[in-house]
Amino acid sequence: MIEIDERGFDRDAFGALSGRWAERVRLGRAGGGRRYAVLLPETADWLALFLAIREAGGGVLPIHPATPRTAARRLAERAGCDRLLLADGEVEILEPSEEPQSGVLLQMSSGTTGAPKCASRPWAEIEAELSAYVAGFPEPDDMTPVVACPTTHSYGLICGVLAGLKRGRAPKIVNAQNPKSLIRILKETEKPLLYSSPAVLHTLAQLMPAGETIHGVMTSGALLPAPWFAKIRERSDHMFQQYGCSEAGVVAVNREVTAADEMGRALPHLRLSAGGSREAPGEILVDVAGRRVETHDLGYLKTDGTLVFVSRLDDTINVSGLNVYPGEVEDAAMAHPDVSDAVAFRIADPFAGERVGLIVVGERRIDESALRDWCRANLAGHQTPAAILQVEAAPRQANGKVSRREVAALYAERKLATLTEAAR
């Protein structure tokens, strides 16, 4: 049925584990009328309890296992949960400000553009998404999903685990912290389809032995920089990409990626609208389950219905009235042979209003003046970074995304560790 950290569970064994957790937290008949925030360190325990709560008709807020207890409680309270479930079956009773709505999957947004917000989606809507995902994206039907990303996030939980089970494929859930172990597992798996973050996929593409490829990879959550895309595309037989958000789930899937910014076509259970061209992008809007979701992303639809992602609305940098999309700056910087990663962000400027800031990562010291000249040769004047800082690593969240707002704040507060400081 499922494999977690190379330990196999058949249906009976996993059902028994779900039953034990249901008893430990006293799920009982009342479970269908409650919202549970779940903070468990072991993936098997978390998934077993998740399935038990869903079966009982309760509400679930998945919380990443690295989250401190005090922070988990704040998230649970923000989501209106009345129970916080912890390791060893401990149950902390909360007092929501209003009667909680049960029978829902609760998810916190990534927070890349501000404080995380809670999205509430009924189980019936999740089932509709799964049916549309499997029907509209049939390529993985004969592949084994290998989930190397958090199952407390919808990407790993819905697309990797639940969709795999719905296809009748036994998912393999693995730890992405050890790339060499992950490569071994992929080699041992028949027709693997790897669900992971762009950063992990790029690392694997660099470490894979010459001449070897991964059967299938899925990327989501962040636009791949052009150099990363080229490397991953080269080292995979099948490359897929999907686009979505916490409020609507998976929106579009690209069934064979040839360009990093092409997110694919909308799934059949929803309607999608955006701008008409790269020169005139518009906000990506999704109509699903009788409501409209404003994604706060910029994009446009090609004539064949393919969604092309341009930028986060809040990430767009306005330099003297001219829009700068961070991805274009990052692609130009990462084309430099010494730059392995880059993040462009907004900095205040008394004359232009805003300018482009850039942090870069490289194995050796990068000459700032030479890199600035490189950017000038490959970008328009208003796109050229006004400030460049080399750091040891770009600050990424657990799901692989970068919060440009956070990077900008760290830069303004002089809290970004430079390469020199990191070496001390």
Going by the DSSP 8-state scheme, the letter that residue 61 receives in this structure is: E
pLDDT of residue 89: 86
Fold category of 316-422 in CATH: GMP Synthetase; Chain A, domain 3 (3.30.300)
pLDDT of 64 higher than 70: yes
What are the start-end ranges of the H helices in 215-352? 226-234, 326-334
pLDDT of residue 72: 92
pLDDT of residue 136: 95
pLDDT of 60 higher than 90: yes
pLDDT of 419 higher than 60: no
Return the CATH class of domain 2-108. alpha beta
pLDDT of residue 420: 45
pLDDT band at 105 (very low <50, low <70, confident <90, very high): very high
| Stretch among 101-115, 300-314, 341-355 having the lowest mean pLDDT | 101-115
pLDDT of 398 higher than 80: no
pLDDT of 128 higher than 60: yes
How does pLDDT run across 129-165, given as a tens digit for each residue? 999 999 999 999 999 999 999 999 999 999 999 999 9
> What is the pTM assigned to this prediction?
0.85
pLDDT of residue 113: 47
| Phi-psi sector, 400: left (phi>0), alpha (psi -120 to 50), beta | left
pLDDT of residue 352: 87
Architecture (CATH level 2) of domain 125-314: 3-Layer(aba) Sandwich (3.40)
Domain ranges of the chain: 2-108, 125-314, 316-422
Compute the average pLDDT of residues 189-204. 94
pLDDT of residue 100: 63
The mean pLDDT value of the chain amounts to 90
pLDDT of 416 higher than 90: no
Torsion of CA 137, 121, 195, 295, to 10 degrees: 80
**Two domains, one topology: 2-108 and 316-422:** no
pLDDT of residue 350: 86
pLDDT of 22 higher than 80: yes
Q: What percent of the chain has pLDDT over 70?
A: 94
pLDDT of 233 higher than 80: yes
Given a contact cutoff of 8 angstroms between Cβ atoms, the answer to whether 87 and 41 are in contact is yes
Name the nearest CA neighbour of 383 among 413, 412, 342: 342
pLDDT of 285 higher than 70: yes
Amino acid (1-letter code) at residue 281: P
pLDDT of 103 higher than 80: yes
Compute the average pLDDT of residues 284-308. 96
418 compared with 231, residue with greater pLDDT: 231
Which of helix, strand or coil describes residue 329? helix
pLDDT of residue 424: 31
pLDDT of 110 higher than 80: no
424 compared with 356, residue with greater pLDDT: 356
pLDDT of 111 higher than 80: no
For residues 52 and 75, what is the distance between their CA atoms, to the nearest angstrom?
A: 21
Our measurement of the distance from residue 16's CA atom to the centroid of its chain's CA atoms, rounded to an integer in Å, reads 31
For residues 95 and 159, what is the distance between their CA atoms, to the nearest angstrom?
A: 32
pLDDT of 215 higher than 80: yes
pLDDT of residue 421: 42
Given a contact cutoff of 8 angstroms between Cβ atoms, the answer to whether 21 and 48 are in contact is yes
Going by the DSSP 8-state scheme, the letter that residue 160 receives in this structure is: I
- Residue 105: in which H helix or E strand, if any? strand 104-108
